[in-house]
Structure 1
């Protein structure tokens, strides 16, 4: 099954190319289009295509720049440049970005089919060179399931290190690593739910990861999440840990509560809680706490009976100048200026 992205600023050309792909009888997982390079990069971040067909001259971001950015991603995306005869010399500059196939406008059926066949052949060759046996993935998933089910955190961490080390030896492209980790996680999820004791939650979202470190962090966080979920369920605590953490932080905004303290309160490992919190809120623990403190400060500033010096302490800042500086960075003005904007005299 192949994922294909067509990029051209002319709607009729996009539709024509889509029709040619549909007529090719190629097994298609997804067939999408974009009107320029900017939109194309957004589509690529959402889902990495196997084959990318792009025009040269487009508004916002042209095909040359799109090819350059795709090359920098180190993704296993095969790119085909589509150009008019007058742009052909310009299109050849893309060769430095790994583009090996060109199509001249107007695109004919025979030429398109020939290029498509080359892409499929190259894709098959690359896949065979970076093949990781399914039995290997199943073995990893089986060992991982045991570590999670028995709450063997040390053994699980050692297995994660082992998998990462072994996969590195394959020298895989990032998108191939994502596919493999996604498959391992799916197998793990299926095995845990097959025990028919708890319905395990949690999904692995690797779409949009820009580097190997981020990819592994998300994968490890998701796997450890299953272990932590089991630990919580077996203690009879069914509350969402992130929401529980938020509630605890909200009731302690005036105090200097640490990440470790909050993690301990909800019964999670501090390192895992930190990863889980950022994955769930898209903010670090400190960023979230600061934002909630500043939002509370705004509400208090809108009430005349509160003195600004008292507000700083109420939202956890014993050092008033630090509060003032933080508030200005967050709101774009000093607390006194914010209050003046509300028509309140300090």
Structure 2
């Protein structure tokens, strides 16, 4: 890059100014005349406006003499190079100018070669200094960019790990990328979660809200240290402050200002919620990871406390037996309601789960999410027994993503209920559209085989379901259990055989699947009120 240096001439003798202007070959020395002033005050104003690299000034000028001009100009720009133009009688003033940083002086009358040589020397020095400064700035920017990119990678790796992961384990993953320290003089993390309710959620709307919030954060926390380290995830926007950050009160004030500006976007979104957390300052990478993890867990707790808050981070309580008790109670609840395929049964189950959570002390928002996901996946597994084409993982992922946009525990349960019941209806509607009706298939199979030697598990499997669900479905459509229906078919078959004379009761019992004549007689009489012989006699006497 070619550097063109700017020069200003100040002298109350206009002919001297014109002489200097024409004596210098500006292109040859790589300089440009920025302006000419005929008094000290005008010269100072011109210096402030044009910001030259070199000043040629006479000593004796009205308004402000050359030495005063140099003194004031150097206060504005310490790197300004000054040349004094003086007569012989003012030489002592030129010597005084040396104390103000004057680089050279020229005696009148001006010699063209001396002037050109002096200016060339200053131009070359200035160019070398500017090149050195540019190289230093480039190096500093390279180091800063590298450091900034590493901080972003560090933050991304931390957020990709589970929030309950051990900090030293996460740090090992970070060290695989870079062994440098992320913070060497201290740092802290701020977490901001702007949100819209899951009922109003669209990816485009939410991304717009995130982008707008990041813009506000960048303005609020702009730093001379360089670009801010910001990473967003479904849990929120994470901001690293790795330089000397403001004290806690100033940070709270700044985040409240951010909140006010974000909440001012109400015209774009139906309703906005805002939560922010300030972590403690730390002086090691491992402690920074721990603080980030604590903040992630704390952000989940907004479902149990409140949104629209800016708060300091409180370290989460250590895992206790209560967490295991909660998980055990939810598991028992699911085991006691196997394959529940009625909307009302699902609602009862969720109501009981919510009661358990309300009564369990010291649970965290992360515990809630874990258990609700556990319930969602269990129900999806059961629904898959009805319809093997169900995208159960996709449904669970949808619930997990929308959970992040719930603002209370009640709303999280409302979301789970909506997701499960909607999925159930989708599955049942899909089953109704099948060409082969499973219950019709089973009835046909039982009647064809006269209910003899039928393995119920195999029958359910052939129909495409688990035995427990198929039993439920069969009874719902026929009003009888599989066993009751098979019993009915056997008795109906026996009735037809009994009106024939060829076979005795013992043979008929065996034909319809009863190896014990006494048990057959008991079941027949229980169903029709008369024994097989009495039934036959009634028809033969007609």
Q: Same fold (TM over 0.5)?
A: no
| TM-score of the two chains, using structure 2 as the length reference | 0.27
Structure with the bigger RCO (C-alpha within 8 Å, sep 6+) is 1
| TM-score of the two chains, using structure 1 as the length reference | 0.42
Kindly name which structure, 1 or 2, has the bigger radius of gyration based on alpha carbons. 2
